[in-house]
Structure 1
Amino acid sequence: MDPEMFLDVANSVAELHMFPYFDIANYALSCIHVRDDMNPNFLIVSRKHPFACWISSMLSCFAGYIVSNLLLGEMPLAPFKSAENVALASLVWYLIFYSPFDVTYKLCKWFPVKAVLNVLKEILRVHKVHHGIHHARKMYPNAYLVHIIIGVARGAGAGFTKVIERFIRGTWTTTGHEFLQPSFPTKACFAASVFFVLEDMTDWMTWPHSIGYLVVVIFFVYFKVSSMLLHIHDPFQPIENLFCAVFMGGLTDALSRALQSSREKSAAKVPGAAVVQNGDGDKKKL
């Protein structure tokens, strides 16, 4: 591809407007995630507790902004000040849960439509990460760790609010949260946040910012499509396993187990010693 054409594409992607199409994809997939998480109690919650269903769905739709605002000391309800976004998210929620014959849910689960929705959502996720870092940089210019944390919270906030969503719907699970079992979107948002922060704080990344932005978008879209087609759900896992084995005590634990097993085998090979009784009635081995 011609470099100038590639740069034009990168600039176009970086300047995309997210509302309304990318937001619709995010709202639809967020509501589908909430609905799938309800099974097998979907009908009970959606029919008997529609308000709790709506609250948990809105929390999932705007989770990134709510979590990042809480961390920055801002109003967590600020995402709901836009009547257009709330109305659009509520319309999508209603269609996902209450459309006649469940046609909207089935259409969104149809693979071609699902693939398009996921691609749009991943592009929106990169946009959230980038703008979260930019917002945090305005408040704390040199706090690079804060920039990374806000980028992750803005891009993968739904994973951190899952426990609260379930609590609102009457299900309390204290072990199924993102800190214990981080998902691929959280890890990918962390990698993207580190990349954007390094791009801003170092001089050796000499390419235009839009090129780096496009590379991150391609990374997110590629692995999302791969997970749908090839069922590759976490490409970071082999790297994590190697890192933990080398630096997090894996090698030490393996050596300890090997030494313990060797000692047990050596002890098992020693023949049993004869036992005699002395004059005091004590037993000793010969």
Structure 2
Amino acid sequence: MDPQTFMEIANVVTKLKMYPYFDVANYILMSIMVREDNHPQTAGSQLFSRKHPLACWIATMLLCFAGSILGNLLVGEPLILPFKNHQDLLTATAVWYLVNYSPFDLVYKLSKFLPFKLTIACLKEIQRAHKIQHGVQYAMKLYPGSYVIIGIIGVLKGAGYYYMRAFERLVRGLWFPATNEILQPAFVTKGSLAATIIFILEKKGYIDAPHAVIYFGVVIFFIYFRLSSLLLGIHDPFVPFENLFCAIFMGGVVDAMRRALSREKVEENAQNARNAAKSKDEKKND
């Protein structure tokens, strides 16, 4: 691609407004996440949204605005501040209603249709990059030089709904302590951390490139791996690097050597026992 054309596209992507299309894509995905988490396991039983619409709505709103809620929690702002914007709240509510209660379940089925599913996913990834960038900018103004805090806020802005799921499930009467995001980080968390680090390095001047190019690169990164997950089943490209890192720095090599030595010792003891038994039989025969 011509560099000038690439720069023009990057500038356009940087200036995109998130409302309404990108925000609606986020609301659709969060509504589907709550709905599918409640999907009945037994054929013929009713959906959770039919039995408990209020709990379903609250749970969906918590996911839709999770990044802002958790970010406000960390910086000491009111947690209900994201609900101050009636336009966003009404839009999220309308999307929640259509996903759960549209005639013939049409909206949900269209959202799961592959071309629409891919489009919604791409819009969500663009919004994710936007949220991380603004989260990093805001955190650097409040806590300049506090890179751990900046990193946490950037991650929560990009993957906050994963950390909100434990509380959101409690609203719906579910409790799965072994599946929280801290125990089992998803690719979204790792990717958000990587994007946060890139934006921090850009702000500190360690990356000598136009902001539009860096931002567009982060967007492409998220879209590429989301499409790879949906189309190719590549859910976490960081796993090989994590395994290598753990093997070198987290005791993996030492544990492997210990197991190998233990196995050799067991085999040696077993061989000695067989030899002793064989010698005993030979003496009896003599």
One fold, TM greater than 0.5?
A: yes
For Structure 1 versus Structure 2, the TM-score category normalised by the shorter chain is: over 0.9
Equivalent residue, structure 1, for 2:283: none
Structure 2 unaligned spans of 5+: 281-286
Of 165, 174, 179 in structure 1, the residue corresponding to residue 177 of structure 2 is 174
Question: Separation in 1 of the partners of 2:38 and 2:276?
Answer: 61
Question: Separation in 1 of the partners of 2:5 and 2:50?
Answer: 52
Spell out, residue by residue over 1:118-175, the C-alpha distance to the aligned partner (whole angstroms, 9 max, x if none): 0000000000000000110111111112111100001100000111111111111111
**How far is the alpha carbon of 1:73 from its aligned partner?**
1.3
SS in 1 for 2:46: helix
Equivalent residue, structure 2, for 1:51: 54
Question: Separation in 2 of the partners of 1:9 and 1:206?
Answer: 19
- The 5-angstrom pairing of residues 248-263 of structure 1 reads 248-263=250-265
Letter in 1 for 2:152: I
**How far is the alpha carbon of 1:209 from its aligned partner?**
1.0
Equivalent residue, structure 2, for 1:27: 27
Equivalent residue, structure 1, for 2:238: 236
**How far is the alpha carbon of 1:44 from its aligned partner?**
4.4
- The 5-angstrom pairing of residues 125-204 of structure 1 reads 125-203=128-206
**How far is the alpha carbon of 1:9 from its aligned partner?**
1.2
Letter in 1 for 2:229: S
Question: Separation in 1 of the partners of 2:215 and 2:108?
Answer: 32
Residues 169, 175 of structure 2: 8 Å contact kept = yes
Question: Separation in 2 of the partners of 1:153 and 1:119?
Answer: 19
Tell me if 1:38 matches 2:42.
no
Equivalent residue, structure 2, for 1:269: 271
Question: Separation in 1 of the partners of 2:11 and 2:246?
Answer: 39
Letter in 2 for 1:156: A
**How far is the alpha carbon of 1:12 from its aligned partner?**
1.0
**How far is the alpha carbon of 1:202 from its aligned partner?**
3.6
Question: Separation in 2 of the partners of 1:75 and 1:134?
Answer: 19
Residues 22, 127 of structure 2: 8 Å contact kept = yes
**How far is the alpha carbon of 1:176 from its aligned partner?**
1.1
Letter in 1 for 2:162: G
Question: Separation in 1 of the partners of 2:153 and 2:217?
Answer: 20
Question: Separation in 1 of the partners of 2:136 and 2:59?
Answer: 26
Equivalent residue, structure 2, for 1:280: none
**How far is the alpha carbon of 1:242 from its aligned partner?**
0.9
Q: Which has the higher helix share?
A: 2
- The 5-angstrom pairing of residues 76-155 of structure 1 reads 76-155=79-158
- The 5-angstrom pairing of residues 56-71 of structure 1 reads 56-71=59-74
Equivalent residue, structure 2, for 1:18: 18
Tell me if 1:73 matches 2:98.
no
Provide the TM-score with structure 1 as the length reference.
Answer: 0.93
The count of residues paired between Structure 1 and Structure 2 equals: 274
Spell out, residue by residue over 1:179-234, the C-alpha distance to the aligned partner (whole angstroms, 9 max, x if none): 0011111110011001111122243x211111011111000000111111111111
Equivalent residue, structure 2, for 1:281: none
SS in 1 for 2:276: coil
State percent identity of aligned pairs. Answer: 50
CA RMSD of aligned residues (A): 1.5
